[in-house]
């Protein structure tokens, strides 16, 4: 009966309301002039929107999905960073921004991925697409399938580069924001996105200088990555992610009049996020939760689980975070670091779960331990 109670136990506590001062009192202070814009936090909560669902060409921001599918293939074990890909004539012949690959040469996946993320290389995008799907057409089908899975309901991909196409290709500020958030979730992405410039040495010994197209990497404090885009029909585009004080935000603009404007407007959007959202901390790394988890058959009856990371949620002024602790059914022996409970945080329609861990070993209670307990009681 006791175990059943523990399994169903939800210890509910309401954290204090996190309050702070606004820097921008009104969204009008953002003065966005781009065709469309969208700002959201890492949980997808909308913070600002302008024509967010209006379809528009997005140029090289298409490569956000290209890079996402490459990371997904790596995580599934279908591709390896050190695998070498032979570049086809079609890939090497891509126009627009390139890393100037040599047809017939073998390039590591890691180098091609760096070319896509840092230099917006069309040739590298095409070479990766051919390797993953067997053809550009097959890869585009994967892109559209993933877009549907992510709920990008107003997006259609026609190629993996964003180059002008005879087929219709479009997206929206909201949808680009969604796929940017998805790309940011992959381990290893920041290793590529943080590169500002590099003299890349081709297998032949030839050198090409790769320079990051996302200037916010150097110009905006906390920028973790993003993707630019430009064609005559798309205008100047940018989707960028930054993090400060535990708050992560993604800003997207489409159809700016010039390059300077896209960077300035994304910067203002990110400033707005960090001025109006704060991180409401519930537990610090190493903190013990304020409840105990029973250890069935252990020499110790219960443990207070601890946090292995800083735990909390980003909130707007006046919002509250509700906290629920859920104990697992734990049997001895227990090793330090075993997950023994979880904490569930909710604020509005946002929900996040974090596991909590044992901070010490618990040995299994033996028959002789029980006898000694009885003797001590007697």
- Which residues are known to be catalytic? 60, 63, 120
Sign of CA dihedral 85, 88, 90, 93: positive
Residue 229 backbone phi and psi in degrees, to 5: -165, 145
Cis-peptide into 333, omega within 30 deg: yes
User: Whose CA is closest to 181, among 169, 189, 171, 191?
Assistant: 189
Q: What residues contact residue 129 under an 8 Å CB cut-off, 6+ apart?
A: 66, 135, 136, 139, 140, 160
- H-helix segments, the chain: 2-8, 63-75, 89-92, 109-119, 122-133, 136-149, 173-184, 189-193, 216-219, 259-276, 367-377
Give how far Cα 298 sits from Cα of 94, 306, 368, Å: 65, 18, 13
DSSP class per residue in 239-294: EEEEEETTEEEEEEEEEESSHHHHHHHHHHHHHHHHHHEEEEEEE-TTPBPSS-EE
**Residue length of the chain:** 378
Q: Whole-angstrom Cα distance, residue 117 to residue 192?
A: 7
Burial of 223 (0-12, 13-18, 19+ CB in 10 A): buried
Q: Which strand ranges, in their side-by-side order, compose the sheet holding 10-14?
A: 10-14, 322-327, 339-347, 350-357, 306-307
The first and second tokens of residue 325, run together, are 């602790």
Q: What angle do CA 332, 343, 177 make, to 5 degrees?
A: 135
Tokens read off for 44 = 């997808």
> Rounded CA gap, 364 and 305, in Å?
18
């Amino acid at each position: 009966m006791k175990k059943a109670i523990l399994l169903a136990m939800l210890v509910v506590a309401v954290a204090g309301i996190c309050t702070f001062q606004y820097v921008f009192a009104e969204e009008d202070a953002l003065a966005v002039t781009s065709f469309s814009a969208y700002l959201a936090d890492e949980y997808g909560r909308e913070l600002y929107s302008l024509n967010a669902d209006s379809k528009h060409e997005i140029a090289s921001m298409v490569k956000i999905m290209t890079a996402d599918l490459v990371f997904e293939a790596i995580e599934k074990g279908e591709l390896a960073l050190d695998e070498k890909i032979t570049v086809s004539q079609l890939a090497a012949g891509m126009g627009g921004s390139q890393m100037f690959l040599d047809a017939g040469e073998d390039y590591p996946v890691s180098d091609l991925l760096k070319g896509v993320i840092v230099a917006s290389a069309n040739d590298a995008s095409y070479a990766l697409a051919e390797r993953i799907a067997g053809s550009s057409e097959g890869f585009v089908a994967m892109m559209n399938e993933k877009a549907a899975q992510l709920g990008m309901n107003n997006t259609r991909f026609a190629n993996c580069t964003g180059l002008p196409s005879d087929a219709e290709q479009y997206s929206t500020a909201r949808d680009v924001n969604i796929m940017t958030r998805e790309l940011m979730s992959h381990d290893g992405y920041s290793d590529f996105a943080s590169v500002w410039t590099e003299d890349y040495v081709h297998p032949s010994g030839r050198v090409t200088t790769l320079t990051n197209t996302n200037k916010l990497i150097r110009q905006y404090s906390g920028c973790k990555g993003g993707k630019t885009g430009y064609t005559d029909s798309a205008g100047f585009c940018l989707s960028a992610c930054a993090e400060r004080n535990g708050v992560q935000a993604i800003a997207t603009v489409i159809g700016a009049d010039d390059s300077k404007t896209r960077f300035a407007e994304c910067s203002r959007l990110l400033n707005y996020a960090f001025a109006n959202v704060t991180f409401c901390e519930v537990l610090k790394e190493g903190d013990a939760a304020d409840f105990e988890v029973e250890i069935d058959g252990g020499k110790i009856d219960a443990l207070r689980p601890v946090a292995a990371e800083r735990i909390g949620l980003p909130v707007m002024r006046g919002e509250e975070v509700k906290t629920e602790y859920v104990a697992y059914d734990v049997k001895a022996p227990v090793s330090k670091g075993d997950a023994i409970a979880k904490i569930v945080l909710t604020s509005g329609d946002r929900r996040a779960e974090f596991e909590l861990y044992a901070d010490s070993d618990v040995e299994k209670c033996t028959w002789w331990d029980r006898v000694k307990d009885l003797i001590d009681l007697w």
